[in-house]
Amino acid sequence: MSETELHAPFMSYRGTIGKLVYRKYKGRTIVSLKPGPRETVTEAEIARQDNFKKAVAYAKKALATPAIRAFYEASAKEQDKPLFALVVGDYFNAPSMDELDLSEYKGQIGDPITITTHDYVGVVSVEVTLTTVDGTPIEKGQAIEAKTRSGNWVYTATVQVANGSDIFIEAEGFDRAGSRTVSSANPIVGM
């Protein structure tokens, strides 16, 4: 690559002239050849483009809703990120969940089940379901977040389960963009 001195008319120019592309990069004007047309596009590239279109559509819809926009604006300011990029990033980054903390759950009414979630901007709901081994529902309800966007959720049991019962516990969390995460456990109550 050679360095050249551009004349005044080209110093602030950005765009294309013929087959040349002029752009600014770190205070310098960069000139390169215009890329030619691509011959083939892979299915993976098409899938990525479609997913990005969905993310942009979500961001536009979310930012058009005043309450959701206010939430994202506060997050963008807190994280020092551009608003639109933060919303698109929230769409692409699904939440995750640690293993369920059943250390205090003994099958009694009022026993807590602790859930820890992680997300780019925050999980908005966690639903907990308890069933018997054969799939019979025991109870189902919403966990409560200890502090907004803390990722620490607690579900308080509302049904007593007999000691020695083999049950399934599943926690399902969603972020604002609708992405889902699940964690489950198969404890024997009281052991």
- Residues 25, 65, single domain; the answer is no
7: which DSSP letter? P
- Residues 57, 115, single domain; the answer is no
Query: What confidence score (pLDDT) does residue 29 get?
Result: 78
Query: What confidence score (pLDDT) does residue 3 get?
Result: 55
- Residues 180, 119, single domain; the answer is yes
- Residues 49, 76, single domain; the answer is yes
What's the order of all strands across the beta sheet hosting 152-156? 96-97, 112-118, 152-156, 144-145
Tokens of 148: 């907004």
Model pLDDT for residues 56-91, shown as the tens digit of each residue: 999 999 999 999 999 999 999 999 999 999 999 999
> Which residue among 92, 118, 133 closes a domain?
92
Please, what is the angle between helix 83-92 and helix 66-79, to 10°?
A: 100
- Domain assignment of residue 64, given as a range: 43-92
pLDDT: which is higher, 39 or 133: 133
For the chain, the domain total comes to 3
With 0.75 as the threshold, say if the pTM is over it: no
Which whole number is the average pLDDT over 165-189?
Answer: 95
pLDDT: which is higher, 104 or 34: 104
In a domain, 130, yes or no: yes
Contact 180, 174 (CB under 8 A): yes
Query: What confidence score (pLDDT) does residue 149 get?
Result: 81
The CATH number of the domain where 124 resides is what? Answer: 2.60.40.1220
pLDDT at 190 over 50: yes
Which whole number is the average pLDDT over 28-45?
Answer: 83
Contact 117, 153 (CB under 8 A): yes
- Residues 87, 102, single domain; the answer is no
In a domain, 6, yes or no: no
Query: What confidence score (pLDDT) does residue 1 get?
Result: 47
pLDDT at 35 over 70: yes
pLDDT tier at 7, thresholds 50, 70, 90: low
Query: What φ, ψ does residue 68 adopt, rounded to 5°?
Result: -70, -40
- Residues 161, 112, single domain; the answer is yes
Query: What φ, ψ does residue 123 adopt, rounded to 5°?
Result: -85, 140
Buried b (16+ CB within 10 A) or exposed e, 129-162: bbeeeeeeebbeeebebeeebebebbbebeeebe
Q: What distances in angstroms separate CA 69 from CA 37, 88, 102, 143, 191, one per listed residue?
A: 38, 13, 36, 25, 46
Q: Which of 17-26, 35-44, 172-181 has the highest mean pLDDT?
A: 172-181
- Residues 106, 34, single domain; the answer is no
Which of 130, 132, 161, 131 is closest to 143 using CA atoms? Answer: 130
Query: What confidence score (pLDDT) does residue 130 get?
Result: 97
In a domain, 191, yes or no: no
Query: What confidence score (pLDDT) does residue 117 get?
Result: 97
Q: Percentage of the chain with pLDDT > 70?
A: 92
- Residues 29, 58, single domain; the answer is no
